[in-house]
Amino acid sequence: MQVSRREFVRLAAAASAAAIVPAARPRPAGAAAQSAPDPWQTATEILARVKAPVFPAREFPITQFGAKPDGATSSREAIRSAIAACRRAGGGRVVIPQGRFLTGAVHLESGVNLHLADGATLAFDRDPRAYLPVVFTRFEGTELMNYSPFIYAFEAENIAITGRGTLDGQADAQHWWDWTRRHAADRTRLVDMGANGVAVADRVFGDGHFIRPNFIQPYRSRNVLIEGVTVVNSPMWELHPCLCTNVTIRDVTIRSHGPNNDGCDPESCKDVLIERCSFDTGDDCIAIKSGRNNDGRRVNVPVENIVIRDCEMKDGHGGVTVGSEISGGARYIFAENCRMDSPQLDRALRFKNNAVRGGLVEHVYMRDVTVGEVAGAIVDADFFYEEGEAGTFLPVLRDVEVRNVRSRKSRTALRLRGYARSPVTDIRVVDCVFDGVAEPDVLEGVRDIVLTNVRVNGEIRNARISR
């Protein structure tokens, strides 16, 4: 169904206003208490709920709608027509066949699987006008009307991006990434709008402004699958499911080294599986988020029930990161059987927050992770990120367990920096081996940090630390 821009803004803003009422936050079904011996039972329950959508056996090749594989002629309208035909038929696959196809914004609809065949490349136009009109979106945790993400869905159900093809954002130092030198005034204005409660419908950016779009963003959608594709050269965050439920991200390869090029950012989502993915990024490989400052507290939806397994992290600021836009809170995060290794990977498990953003982060578990080399700490928690302690929304981090993590080289094993008035609490490190550690741990504003059978540079440590 096509609606006018005015009507779209009205509907989106109304939906956002409805989200102000906080939803009840029960523990995941059947979740064990914090003192239970095996918190990973909760991960098993999450995995039992996460189901990839299934699509009818119908195919809609975009070449049948006029698309040309020359890499120069825009296929945007052909893709739009194929998606509309697929929806009208009751769902199926919109197929990008072998070849290089140029497009602008692609908007998925319910029941549509955008499938990239072997040898297919969907290249995204470098002209920002190809991502207009503006849509309801989030930028770094604040809602606004902005350029469309390259692939976008709004309040859709049963959607997918699959196949062995490539999604090429065509971003580089002269296209999109250069906006980091021009966006300061827009970012400040947007954050101020969020702080002052300006209606989202009135936070209109897009043409004439320099707020970069994300690459792939399903927004308020259910039953989402992203599988098999390779994503390169993104303007900023690559995979950004936001306010979604039941999300599967599997066998995806991310290679993009621009500024703010996070690999995968599930934000205010519930029941998410990220598995067998490869991340080589210019920022955090996986960054788990839930909104920024007052705007995150207004929407007030945590990110919860995330399982990460069998992934590979190469370059990046953090392998698995929680924050910094985490004002809505985060809980029940599980990461296992991952491999992390690069002198350009800064940390393995990272938490970043401050007293302006705030948020409760709890029940985070990592096990059976192999780290070749990181430039900084294996476990890093920093409450002084950016704005620091000069705020009234104290961050809380508690109940984190790191078990059977082995690393070959790092600057430190632990770097934990909380506040005296709000310490980092209940961090347990069990059966870990950290070799090649160059410097002592940094422990400031912590309480109940427990090391059990931890070997650092060959020395066994068993300790309970509060300072």
Q: Maximum CA pair distance of the chain?
A: 67
- Per residue in 371-414, pLDDT (tens digit) is 999 999 999 999 999 999 999 999 999 999 999 999 999 999 99
- Write the DSSP string, 55-124: --S-EEEGGGGT--TEEEEE-HHHHHHHHHHHHHHT-EEEEE-SEEEEES-EE--TTEEEEE-TTEEEEE
Q: Could you tell me the two tokens for 347? A: 């940390």
- Per residue in 228-260, pLDDT (tens digit) is 999 999 999 999 999 999 999 999 999 999 999
- Per residue in 315-355, pLDDT (tens digit) is 999 999 999 999 999 999 999 999 999 999 999 999 999 99
Percent of the chain predicted with pLDDT > 70: 92
* Contact in structure between 307 and 44 (CB atoms under 8 Å): no
Q: Could you tell me the two tokens for 396? A: 């809380």
- Can you tell me whether residue 298 is helix, strand or coil? helix
Confidence category of residue 35, pLDDT binned at 50, 70, 90: low
Q: What is the pLDDT of residue 36?
A: 55
Confidence category of residue 466, pLDDT binned at 50, 70, 90: confident
Q: What is the pLDDT of residue 2?
A: 42
Q: H/E/C letters for each residue in 358-379?
A: CEEEEEEEEEEEEEEECCCEEE
Q: Is the pLDDT of residue 14 over 60?
A: no
82 burial via Cβ count (<10 Å: 0-12, 13-18, 19+): buried
Active site residues: 283, 317
CA–CA distance, 317 with 372 (Å, rounded to integer):
15
Residue 288 makes CB contacts below 8 A (sequence gap 6+) with: 265, 266, 267, 303, 306, 320, 321, 322, 323, 326, 330, 333
The residues facing 377 across adjacent strands are 412
Q: Is the pLDDT of residue 68 over 90?
A: yes
| Structural domains present in the chain | 5-55+153-161+189-465 (2.160.20.10)
Strands 349-352 and 377-382: parallel
Q: What is the pLDDT of residue 115?
A: 98
Confidence category of residue 207, pLDDT binned at 50, 70, 90: very high
- Per residue in 119-174, pLDDT (tens digit) is 999 999 999 999 999 999 999 999 999 999 999 999 999 999 999 999 999 999 99
Identify the helix (H) or strand (E) that includes residue 47.
helix 40-49
Buried b (16+ CB within 10 A) or exposed e, 139-165: bbbbbbbbbbbbbbbbebebbbbbbbb
